[in-house]
C-alpha cells in the first residue's frame, strides 16, 4: 500500500513531541527528510487528516485529546489456566478428586490404605488398628473427601491459595508447605479425636491461609497477598464449624482440630519464612 504524505514542514521544526503523541495513540507513521523539509508519512487518508489536525492544534497551543491508558492484554483462557505452570497444585487437586471417588464408592476396597489408621469393618462395627510403620498414612488422609460440598469448598480455596504460592514462591516451596501442613493437621486431629476416620484438604487450606496472611503482613512488598474478603470468609467459616452449623445443615461433622491446627502451623511457617527471607530489592 503506498504511503500518504500527511505533513510537510521545515527541517528546523522539531516533530518529536508530535511523533511521540501519535505513537501513544497507536498511529503508525514515519518521518523522512528530503530537499530541506521533513515529511511525515502515514498509511491511510483518514490518518493524514488526523495528523494535520493534531499538528494545527499543537501549533496554536491548544490541548490535544488525552492519551488513552495502556491496554491490558489478557492471555487466552487456555494460557491463563496453564496447569503445567502450577504442577504441584494441579497434581494435588487430581489426587484429591481420586480420593473423593474412592471415599464415595470404594469399589476396590482402597480407602483403608489412605486413612490415618488401618481399619476393618465387621457388620456395623469398625475396628481400628495401628499405623504399623505405614508412614504414608501421615499425609494420605488429606486426599479423602466425603461429599461434593466438601471437595468443592476445599478445591476452590486450594486452587486459589496454592496457585498463588506456587507462582510467586515456586513449586518446591508449595510442596514442602503441603507436606508439613498436611501431616501437622492430621496429627493434631488424631490427638484431638483419637482413632477415627477423617479426611480432607481443609487443614492444608487453612494452613495456606495462615501462611499467606502472615507473609503478606510481614512482607507487604511481596506479590503474595491475601485479599481481606477471603480471610474474613474463611475465619467466619472456621467459627461456624466449631459451633456445629454443618450438623444443622445435614452435612455432618468436620475435623475442627485439623482446621485449627493447620491454621496455627501455617501462621508459624509464614512467620518463620518471612523472617528468614532476604529483603526484597
Give alpha helix (H) positions in 118-252: 148-169, 171-193, 202-218, 228-243, 245-248
Catalytic (active site) residue 90? no
* Phi, psi (rounded to 5 degrees) for 226: -115, 115
Contact between 202 and 266 under an 8 Å Cβ cutoff? The reply is no
3-class secondary structure per residue, 190-201: HHHHCCCCCCCC
Query: For the chain, how many helices (H) and strands (E)?
Result: 10, 5
Cell of 86: 502450577
Task: Single out the residue of 95, 53, 75, 74 nearest to residue 199, CA to CA.
Answer: 95
Cell of 247: 450438623
Q: Which residues of 232-254 are buried (b: 16+ CB within 10 A; e: fewer)?
A: eebeebbeebeeeebeeeeeeeb
Q: Which of 29, 145, 150, 259 is catalytic?
A: 259
Would you mind telling me the total number of residues written for the chain in this entry? Answer: 281
- What is the C-alpha to C-alpha distance for residues 237 and 254, in angstroms, rounded to an integer? 11
Catalytic (active site) residue 259? yes
Contact between 208 and 177 under an 8 Å Cβ cutoff? The reply is yes
Q: Which of 10, 112, 202, 237 is catalytic?
A: 202
Long-range contacts of 11-18 (CB under 8 A, 24+ apart): 11/36, 11/37, 11/38, 13/38, 15/40, 17/58, 18/51, 18/54, 18/55, 18/58
Q: Where in the sequence numbering do the catalytic residues fall?
A: 202, 259
Amino acid at each position: 500500500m503506498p504511503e500518504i504524505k500527511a505533513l510537510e514542514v521545515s527541517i528546523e521544526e522539531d516533530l518529536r513531541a508530535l511523533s511521540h503523541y501519535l505513537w501513544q495513540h497507536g498511529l503508525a507513521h514515519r518521518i523522512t527528510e528530503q530537499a530541506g523539509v521533513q515529511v511525515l508519512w502515514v498509511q491511510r487518508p483518514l490518518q493524514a487528516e488526523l495528523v494535520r489536525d493534531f499538528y494545527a492544534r499543537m501549533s496554536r497551543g491548544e490541548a490535544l485529546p488525552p492519551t488513552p491508558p495502556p491496554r491490558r492484554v489478557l492471555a487466552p483462557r487456555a494460557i491463563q489456566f496453564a496447569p503445567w505452570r502450577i504442577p504441584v497444585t494441579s497434581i494435588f487437586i487430581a489426587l484429591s478428586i481420586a480420593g473423593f471417588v474412592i471415599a464415595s464408592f470404594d469399589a476396590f476396597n482402597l480407602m483403608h490404605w489412605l486413612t490415618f489408621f488401618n481399619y476393618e469393618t465387621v457388620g456395623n462395627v469398625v475396628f481400628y488398628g495401628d499405623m504399623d510403620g505405614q508412614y504414608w498414612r501421615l499425609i494420605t488422609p488429606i486426599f479423602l473427601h466425603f461429599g461434593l460440598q466438601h471437595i468443592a469448598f476445599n478445591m476452590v480455596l486450594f486452587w486459589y491459595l496454592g496457585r498463588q504460592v506456587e507462582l510467586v514462591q515456586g513449586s518446591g516451596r508449595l510442596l514442602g508447605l503441603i507436606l508439613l501442613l498436611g501431616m501437622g493437621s492430621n496429627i493434631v486431629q488424631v490427638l484431638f479425636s483419637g482413632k477415627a476416620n477423617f479426611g480432607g484438604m481443609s487443614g492444608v487450606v487453612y494452613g495456606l491461609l495462615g501462611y499467606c496472611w502472615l507473609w503478606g503482613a510481614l512482607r507487604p512488598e511481596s506479590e503474595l497477598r491475601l485479599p481481606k474478603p477471603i480471610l474474613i470468609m474463611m475465619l467466619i467459616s472456621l467459627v461456624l464449624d466449631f459451633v456445629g452449623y454443618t450438623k444443622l445443615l445435614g452435612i455432618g461433622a468436620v475435623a475442627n482440630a485439623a482446621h485449627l491446627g493447620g491454621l496455627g502451623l501455617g501462621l508459624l511457617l509464614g512467620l518463620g519464612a518471612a523472617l528468614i527471607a532476604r529483603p526484597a530489592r
